[in-house]
Amino acid sequence: MADIKDPENTILIELKDGTVAIELLPDVAPKHCDRIKELARAGQYDNVAFHRVIDGFMAQTGDVQNANMEKDYNPGRAGTGGSDLPDLPAEFSKLPHDRGTLGAARSQNPNSANSQFFINFKDNHFLNGQYTVYGRVISGMDLVDNITKGEPPANPDRMISMKVAVDVDG
């Protein structure tokens, strides 16, 4: 596990092969960081599928409405939903979409990010200034690289759980 400097702003995603630690960037995108922590603490991300995973590009997840593997997983609708909270305004910055960064997924409307996010497999600088960057993987990128690919994958990997590091015992 990575050296966690700020447990209140570190997300732990449990995958089938281990834990991915993501350092959030509240100084860059405070509303997005607050949202992911709020939904994680409510258990909204638990059992949610990686519904769009493109080799050499990114792994997308976070559709708490349509991609829960234990409730009503619908591969045809996964990626079309959000949470029951309002959409977020864009918080664009100068931070590049480098390998391992966390980006907010959205529709064509820049102010439509909600619960979905993606992790970049490589530097995707063509996304710079168009999608909010609000975190970076600090450990477990090898686990992200191994997420089952597809749009949607026939048998998608899922986030077994997502927690804020400060809330985890030990």
User: For position 64, which CATH number holds?
Assistant: 2.40.100.10
| pLDDT surpasses 70 at 44 | yes
Give the helix/strand (H/E) hosting 118: strand 117-120
Instruction: With respect to residue 61, please indicate whether it lies within any of the assigned structural domains.
Output: yes
Residues paired with residue 89 on neighbouring β-strands, in sequence order = none
Query: Each residue of 134-153: pLDDT tens digit?
Result: 999 999 999 999 999 999 89
The total number of structural domains in the chain stands at 1
Instruction: With respect to residue 153, please indicate whether it lies within any of the assigned structural domains.
Output: yes
- Token output for 122: 């490589």
Q: Which of 136, 124, 118, 101 is nearest to 52 (CA)?
A: 118
For 128, what's the count of Cα atoms within 13 Å in the CB-facing half-sphere?
A: 10
Instruction: With respect to residue 4, please indicate whether it lies within any of the assigned structural domains.
Output: no
Identify the pLDDT of residue 33.
98
Percentage of residues of the chain with pLDDT beyond 70: 95
- Model confidence at 2, pLDDT cuts 50, 70, 90, reads low
Instruction: With respect to residue 3, please indicate whether it lies within any of the assigned structural domains.
Output: no
Q: 50 or 152, which is more confident?
A: 50
Residues paired with residue 52 on neighbouring β-strands, in sequence order = 60
**115 lies in which domain range?**
9-167
Number of residues written out for the chain = 170
Instruction: With respect to residue 22, please indicate whether it lies within any of the assigned structural domains.
Output: yes
Instruction: With respect to residue 1, please indicate whether it lies within any of the assigned structural domains.
Output: no
